[in-house]
Structure 1
Amino acid sequence: MRAGASADKVAQVGSARTSPLFDARERAALEYAERVTTTGERVSDELFDRVRSHFTEAQIVELTAAIALENFRSKFNTALGIDAQGFCVIPPTPRDA
């Protein structure tokens, strides 16, 4: 939220595909993040073309690095039994319930 996202927007991330709070650029980035995060899934040419239409090559590299870093942290913390510290409490979405 320090980057400017409202609490409402953060709460809607799980519904970004249909939420009017997200524009096409944000939807592409979130779908890309989801696909990169899902083990064994390839990013389709169609999705990568959509991402490329909103981001420069340098931005795609930076976005991919940020996604990979968060995945690393998640796996690392889980492996060591490190629980969330509550720095970024995000309410569960209907999909998580």
Structure 2
Amino acid sequence: RLALEYAEAASVTPPTVDDALRTRLAAHFDAQALTELTALIGLQNLSARFNSAMDIPAQGLCRIPEKRS
């Protein structure tokens, strides 16, 4: 859950990763694991933005539920 919270905070514009979140992350992940997690989050963001900019449709591998009104 903490990794997901981090991914969400790192993915919004502007990112909302604050000192409190960094402290909780440091209690659960060592520096190498946090670096790898951050790299993966960044890679997925790059991929999503690239696909959106190029109008590349989703391939159905990760369906996102429709927003409820």
TM class, shorter-chain normalised? Answer: 0.7 to 0.9
Q: CA-atom RMSD, angstroms?
A: 1.4
2:10 matches 1:36 = yes
Matches within 5 A, 1:1-97: 27-90=1-64, 92=65, 96-97=67-68
TM-score normalized with structure 2 length? 0.88
- Say how many residue pairs are matched: 68
TM-score normalized with structure 1 length? 0.64
Runs (4 or more) in structure 1 with deviation over 3 Å come to none
SS in 2 for 1:64: helix
More relative contact order, 1 or 2 (CA 8 Å, 6+ apart): 1
Using the aligned pairs only, state the percent identity: 46
